[in-house]
Structure 1
Amino acid sequence: MAGSVKDSVKKPIVLNDTTLRDGEQAPGVAFSPEEKIAIAKALAGAGVPEIEAGTPAMGEREIAAIRDVVAEKLPAKIIAWCRMVRQDIDAAVASGVGMINLSLPVSDIQLKAKFSADRAYARDMISRFIPYARDKGLEVALGCEDASRADLSFLGELADLGASLGVRRLRFADTLGVLDPFMTFSMVEQLRAGTDLEIEIHAHDDLGLATANTLAALRAGATHASVTVVGLGERAGNAPLEEVAVAVKSLYGLSTEVDLTALAGVARVVTSAAGRSIPEAKAIVGEVVFTHESGIHVDGLLKDLQCYQALDPALLGRSHHVVLGKHSGLRAVTNALAQQGLSVSADEAKFVLARIKLYAEQEKASVPGNILLDFYREAKIASAHTGDMWTPLVIN
């Protein structure tokens, strides 16, 4: 591991997947109780150690669904999300979880807008409801909503107060996705210097920086990362489970205890239940993220994988795949035919490549195997019957 990585991250990173809570808050997404169980099983089966299973305050059906997840006795800590309200805590107890994320706004703007209150109100709420939750036998993470817009010294005060009341974790939420990695690192580093609590980063992707901000927080001393499968969540979503898990392993050599080969399967379970599709170029789990067409890239990969391989697809149980299209080169053509036991001369390969390029432009697609064979046969016929087989087919 590079020497610049903080000592505090030289240990397993704990991923807290909140697909069943924050992910379900994505517009139009509503998981049935059966789907919640299926998703929880998929996550736990992949080695995800913590699952935020829902919001008990939503009502009896949600309480029952969370209770059913708990009843599965999965090898994962099941957590519920609560406001600092007595009935929310009671609902969490009824759901059977052993830990809650007890959340309240901590920025001046949200305290004023939501409660017509100030920082004293936040201190009072924490002092009242953390002991109540602890008396109910619950482990508590102090959820700091809109922490990224809060006064950092005030966050330090709340961390101290929470620690004195028995919380085990501070959740630092970039609720509106306003941070960049540099700001994230600075804020979390300062928090870490002042507390021994676990620190969980909860990043939103409004600026497309959720994964980067999550990694920055981990390098600054955060111990936990809040994630969702394929980044599902409110607005632009959250830090994707698959991106954070793979980045932590491939960049830092750290373990998250997650089976990286299971990530694509988990993504399929979640997107099916959510009624969403996985973009084909979605990092880590997209269908084409290890697919190559460019002639320069394919030629390099065929000579030495390290030329164009930063992430080994085998780490994810996948492999490289070469397709033929407008940007293919002769090496890709001869290699594709050779894989089918076919050989061509240099001129025949040029013929086939010209046909491939024309097909790709007209069909807006890569060339399937059966069409490639047609081009091969045409090349052999042209080669046998004409001395100038290229002129009508060359594409400038």
Structure 2
Amino acid sequence: MESRKVVINDTTLRDGEQTAGVAFNWEEKLAIASALAAAGVPEMEVGIPTMGPEEREIIGAIAALDLPSRLMVWGRMCEADLEAATGCGAHLVNLSIPVSDIQLRHKVGRDRDWAIATISRVVPRALATGMDVCVGAEDASRADPEFLLRVAETAQRAGARRIRFADTLGILDPIATFERIRRLVDAVDLEVEMHAHNDFGLATANTLVAIQAGASHVNTTVNGLGERAGNAALEETVMALHQLYQLPTGIDVSRFGAISELVAKASGRPVAPNKSIVGEAVFTHEAGIHVDGILKNVLNYQGVNPKDLGREHRLVLGKHSGTHGVIQRFRDLGIELTEIAAAQLLRRIRLHANQTKRAPSTAELMSFYRETAASEPIPALPGLPDALTIRNQP
């Protein structure tokens, strides 16, 4: 991927809030917008003005913060939504219009000619408000490719700055995404923005491939919030751009943990422990061969550097641990173990893991140490090999 800057347009405050059951209050929206801006997110889609006076007031309050990020608002490609968006303090307006035949016919009861005429009429009126215009091509992934190019060419002639390719149902795979975006990039002189949904778990992958195909802007949400299965996650997209492709975004990834926690609390949607980048357990190691490798050289099992995120690797003891992990954990507690003592303790730790389904606490480890020192050897669990023979196996 050539060296260039990709612009992240985070839509946590719009599409993220459209997650079923999620509603951010005034204070939460201001806090999220401020946190994203402080992290260096260059653009944010912050709301839907046509929802009513309260929504417009909140958008105005975000604008009044005078954040360094450019603000976008969302509306349908019609005069009423444009009027609602005018005067909110946004720099850009995304005006969305269906471009697939199924949505044209069965959602708005219109045809392709209506879509072209509407774009030609509304975009110049939007430009007259002083906002830049993004034409949101809704359901672009199911649109006829030739018609989509006609939509893009019409948007360009009308004066739009950007076109948003929306994979509204999340049905594309990376190969199809590359082909669609590359064709669009080659056809028009517009900024091309990718809006990916995660219905098949491909939103982040499709977003990254869209950038490879030439997309200049991409939509993300914190923790992957959004309609149905959500959108491409901010933290995944940015970390992949930085570490896999060495593409700068200007975003401070060390703030992702705090932003993720803020959005999780505000949305009522807790983050899964194994959620990539921001999950509590993603830098936690238990398996013996992994712990042994980490202790020898952290690069043996490090794809993402936790220090970049203000975090560290964490070693825990459990059913799959080996004696090297036990020795290191007790060394951290100020106790040096022999291999034999470590093997005895490992049997006790495995028994605990099978019974409780969790790692032992420090107090429990000390209790096991005292028990083991004062007792007969602990037999291996039924059906499990002896600890000494599997100490460094996965």
TM tier relative to shorter chain: over 0.9
Q: Does 1:91 align with 2:84?
A: yes
What are the residue-to-residue correspondences of 1:159-178 with 2, within 5 Å?
A: 159-178=152-171
1:167-191 Cα shifts (integer Å, max 9, x gaps): 1111000000010001001111111
Mind listing any 5+ residue stretches in structure 1 that lack a counterpart?
A: 383-388
Aligned partner of 1:28 in structure 2 is: 21
Equivalent of 2:67 in 61, 71, 74: 74
Tell me the SS of whatever aligns to 1:144.
strand
What are the residue-to-residue correspondences of 1:210-359 with 2, within 5 Å?
A: 210-359=203-352
Aligned partner of 1:110 in structure 2 is: 103
The whole-number CA distance in structure 2 between the counterparts of 1:392 and 1:315 is: 43
Tell me the SS of whatever aligns to 1:112.
helix
Question: Is contact 2:173-2:206 (8 Å) kept?
Answer: yes
The whole-number CA distance in structure 1 between the counterparts of 2:379 and 2:104 is: 72
1:85 positional shift: 1.4
The whole-number CA distance in structure 2 between the counterparts of 1:83 and 1:267 is: 29
1:378 positional shift: 2.3
1:236-268 Cα shifts (integer Å, max 9, x gaps): 011111110111111101111111010111111
1:185-242 Cα shifts (integer Å, max 9, x gaps): 1111111111221110000000010001101101010011101111111100111111
1:94 positional shift: 2.8
Question: Is contact 2:348-2:378 (8 Å) kept?
Answer: no
* Aligned sequence identity (%): 49
The whole-number CA distance in structure 1 between the counterparts of 2:176 and 2:380 is: 56
Equivalent of 1:139 in 132, 136, 159: 132
The alignment's TM-score, normalised by the length of structure 1, stands at: 0.95
1:115 positional shift: 2.2
The whole-number CA distance in structure 1 between the counterparts of 2:61 and 2:286 is: 47
Equivalent of 1:360 in 326, 336, 353: 353
1:390 positional shift: 2.5
1:391 positional shift: 5.4
1:332-391 Cα shifts (integer Å, max 9, x gaps): 000111112211222111110000000000011001111111122223334xxxxxx425
The alignment's TM-score, normalised by the length of structure 2, stands at: 0.95
Question: Is contact 1:185-1:219 (8 Å) kept?
Answer: yes
Question: Is contact 2:274-2:280 (8 Å) kept?
Answer: yes
1:86 positional shift: 1.0
The whole-number CA distance in structure 2 between the counterparts of 1:209 and 1:62 is: 31
Q: Say what the alpha-carbon RMSD is for the aligned residues.
A: 1.1
Tell me the SS of whatever aligns to 1:104.
strand
Question: Is contact 2:344-2:378 (8 Å) kept?
Answer: no
1:393 positional shift: 5.1
The whole-number CA distance in structure 2 between the counterparts of 1:127 and 1:322 is: 60
The whole-number CA distance in structure 2 between the counterparts of 1:343 and 1:274 is: 46
Q: Does 1:149 align with 2:136?
A: no
The size of the alignment, in residue pairs, is 383
**Paired residue type of 2:37:** A
1:307 positional shift: 1.3
Question: Is contact 1:351-1:393 (8 Å) kept?
Answer: no
Equivalent of 1:58 in 37, 51, 64: 51
Tell me the SS of whatever aligns to 2:210.
helix
Worse-matched range after superposition: 342-351 or 285-294: 342-351
The whole-number CA distance in structure 2 between the counterparts of 1:265 and 1:346 is: 40
Q: Does 1:189 align with 2:182?
A: yes
The whole-number CA distance in structure 2 between the counterparts of 1:392 and 1:74 is: 63
Question: Is contact 1:63-1:94 (8 Å) kept?
Answer: no
Worse-matched range after superposition: 55-64 or 308-317: 308-317
Question: Is contact 1:324-1:366 (8 Å) kept?
Answer: yes
Aligned partner of 2:377 in structure 1 is: 390
Mind listing any 5+ residue stretches in structure 2 that lack a counterpart?
A: 385-394
The whole-number CA distance in structure 2 between the counterparts of 1:196 and 1:305 is: 46
Question: Is contact 2:10-2:220 (8 Å) kept?
Answer: yes
Question: Is contact 2:347-2:379 (8 Å) kept?
Answer: no
The whole-number CA distance in structure 1 between the counterparts of 2:144 and 2:68 is: 37
The whole-number CA distance in structure 2 between the counterparts of 1:392 and 1:294 is: 21
1:394 positional shift: 5.3
Aligned partner of 1:201 in structure 2 is: 194
1:59-84 Cα shifts (integer Å, max 9, x gaps): 00000010000000011001100111
The whole-number CA distance in structure 1 between the counterparts of 2:204 and 2:119 is: 29
The whole-number CA distance in structure 2 between the counterparts of 1:242 and 1:224 is: 16
